[in-house]
Amino acid sequence: MEKFPPSAKTEKKIWFPAKRYGWGWGLPVCWQGWVVMIVWVLLLVAAQLLLLRHPVWFAVCIVGLAAGLIGICLWKGEKPRWRWGKD
């Protein structure tokens, strides 16, 4: 038996739930996650408009944006693991 029940301060609030099938995350479940997604899409569009004539810099920007989104999902999402839809 636990001595201390989990409190609101110690519980991790999930922004991105794990997918039911496969590995990774699904759509956001709270407003903070939606803000992250909207800002990410806006940055993606801005990169396309500004850097499309410079393919190397465009690729670097896309890799950076993808790494940033994955980092936020790791930080604020459920722990990723392979799922078969049973849990």
Query: What is the Cα–Cα distance from 69 to 77, expressed in whole angstroms?
Result: 11
With cut-offs at 50, 70 and 90, classify the pLDDT of residue 70. very high
With cut-offs at 50, 70 and 90, classify the pLDDT of residue 84. confident
Give the three-state DSSP class for 60: helix
pLDDT value, residue 87: 60
Q: What is the pLDDT of residues 10-52, one digit of tens each?
A: 567 899 998 888 898 989 999 999 999 999 999 999 999 998 8
Give the three-state DSSP class for 52: coil
In a domain, 63, yes or no: yes
Give the three-state DSSP class for 62: helix
Number of domains in the chain: 1
Is 70 exceeded by the pLDDT of residue 56? Answer: yes
In a domain, 18, yes or no: no
Query: What is the Cα–Cα distance from 60 to 53, expressed in whole angstroms?
Result: 13
Range(s) of the domain holding residue 43 = 28-77
